[in-house]
Amino acid sequence: MTHGIVCAAQPEAVEAGALTLLRGGNAVDAAVACALTQGVVDPLMTGLGGVGTAIAHIPGHGLLENLNFLGAAPASATPDMWADRIVGETGDGFGFVLAGRENALGHQAVMIPGNLAGYWAMHAAHGRLPWDKVCEPAIDEAERGWMVRPHVYAYAIQDEAAQGRVPNEEILGFTQAGRSLYLDPDHRPGRPGTMKRPGTRIRNPDLADTLRAVAASGADALYCGELGERIVDDMLAHGGLITLKDLASYRVVHQPALKGNYRGHTIATNQPGGSGVQVVQTLKILEQFDLRGLRHGIPEHLRIVAEAIAYAYQDKRAHVGDPDHVDVPLDVLISSERAAEYARRIERGEHATLQRLESLDEPPETSQVCTLDEHGNAVSMTHTLGAPSGVMAPGTGFILNGCMGIFDPRPGHATSIAPGKSYTSSMSPSIVFDPDSALRMVLGAPGATYIPQAIAQVISNVLDFDMAMSDAVIAPRVAVTRSRTIDVSNRIPRFVTSELEAAGYAIQRSYLSYAFAGVHGVEVAGQSWRGGADPGRDGMALTV
């Protein structure tokens, strides 16, 4: 009998999810096992110190639920705490650059983490296996060690300093524990070390011990236990903001999924402060056009897609924030009337305008897992460190998030800092249903502000161009982060982009063949399942 399918960006994590299915777990168990393992084998991307969001489809209980565990600013955070230190905004609009870098590196950059609370809450509500069994694969990976993979290495050595950002090796080497775990000595002045080479095995006994405590006590280990006390003691010693009260008061938000419609299909995605609204709005705009009548990847197709992305992205930036702090006009943003108006502008050849503080590029530290089981249960979960702070509390074995750097340090904006406010995430895990309500796709992506842009394109690739999931995630994508500028994958021919330039667009060509987020997804194809793992990452899809 076939038990299910798992698709994620790390083979070790996929194996953990698949093994959990084979042991009798359901899609929720598999997703949590996969997520915990991702935190071991992709330490710059996600972990217990991060934040996330998930969509869970549990047909036996009639549930289609969004769990947002997007963290929260500490109670002592204030809207103007960094207002006098602003240098600019990152190139893709996913964070701000400060003089002194307090929001990017070190203890003040850390938001109250939500990941463990989210994993625990989803498993408690919908899991089948005992919690400690779900934790076993991650403990095993931390104890026996995992091999540095090509994407982990390539990401760690990216030259962020040339763009004015904190180098990833500096983040990994911020603490002595990080230097010992991840870096080889580098005796050049000012260098914390160099990332260990691909194939090097990294054992993390501190994280194994932490995960054993989590296996025994669940989320309480962090939010009201010894693990949380270690984090808070480290915060107090280094000027951090998080307190024991902050941890104890943190709660996961359970709510119905945000739903939209695209050509008769239901798109279920996350509520604000995630970016599911941007996915839905982009598709609502694209629905105004006969994309089937166009060939995929021709200039007119790319122009329409880029403009739809730009209008939805600008609306998200202007109006979407933590709904407990911001009045988000969802009905307006995803209305047919607004989509039709934007479509008329696109037909007239108008260009959307993005209001930006111009500055630097920002890296996509996030991970994704998609699971589907024999009973129709499905999970899409995206979780992240934001941009990791580099902080590893002594003896814990994991890096804490740097999500305070995603807040707008200017007071008065939808994403400005406020005590207890969760950050507005680009994460947008999604599940798609056919017009007869049958499950069709489960997908999501890492990739910062490129995430909702990429997910909308992959959904369109499947539904408008009849691509299998593997082909849909491989097809070259575009992105928009600046006005009148289209970012393109290096696999989009220059004879195509030259026509876009003639139409008044600047072209920003990526050196990457597989650029702009790393979409992972599974689809139901008749009586079988098919997965697609973005080749820009190290992952895979596995049916068991």
Which pLDDT tens digit goes with each residue over 8-59?
999 999 999 999 999 999 999 999 999 999 999 999 999 999 999 999 999 9
CATH architecture of 258-360+427-543: 4-Layer Sandwich (3.60)
Which pLDDT tens digit goes with each residue over 471-514?
999 999 999 988 899 999 999 999 999 999 999 999 999 999 99
Residue 386's pLDDT is what?
Answer: 86
Average of per-residue pLDDT values in the chain: 93
C-alpha neighbours within 13 Å on the C-beta side of residue 114: 32
Q: Phi and psi for 443 in degrees, rounded to 5?
A: -150, 165
**Cβ(82)–Cβ(410) under 8 Å?**
no
Helix H or strand E encompassing 254: strand 253-256
Does position 92 have pLDDT exceeding 50, yes or no? no
CA-CA-CA-CA dihedral for 256, 260, 262, 265, to nearest 10: 30
Q: What percent of the chain has pLDDT over 90?
A: 85
Nearest to 55 by CA among 370, 253, 270, 265: 270
- In this prediction the pTM is 0.95
Does position 359 have pLDDT exceeding 70, yes or no? no
Give the contacts of 493 (CB within 8 A, at least 6 positions apart): none
Does position 361 have pLDDT exceeding 60, yes or no? no
**Of these residues, 366, 384, 424, 449, which one is catalytic?**
366
Alpha-carbon distance of 105 to 95, in angstroms, equals 13
> Where are the alpha helices (H) located in 199-265, listed in sequence order?
205-217, 220-223, 226-237, 244-248
Please confirm, yes or no, whether 2 is among the known catalytic residues.
no
Alpha-carbon distance of 330 to 334, in angstroms, equals 6
Summarize the confidence of residues 109-128 as an average pLDDT: 98
Instruction: Point out which residues pair with 347 in neighbouring strands.
Output: none
CA 497 centroid distance within chain: 29
Please, which pLDDT band fits residue 433 given cuts at 50, 70 and 90? Answer: very high
Which pLDDT tens digit goes with each residue over 363-406?
456 899 999 999 999 999 999 998 899 999 999 999 999 999 88
Does position 163 have pLDDT exceeding 70, yes or no? no
Please, which pLDDT band fits residue 98 given cuts at 50, 70 and 90? Answer: confident
Q: Hey, is 286 helix, strand or coil? A: helix
Positive or negative torsion for Cα 91, 95, 101, 104: negative
Helix H or strand E encompassing 194: strand 194-195
Give the contacts of 313 (CB within 8 A, at least 6 positions apart): 93, 278, 354, 449, 452, 453, 480
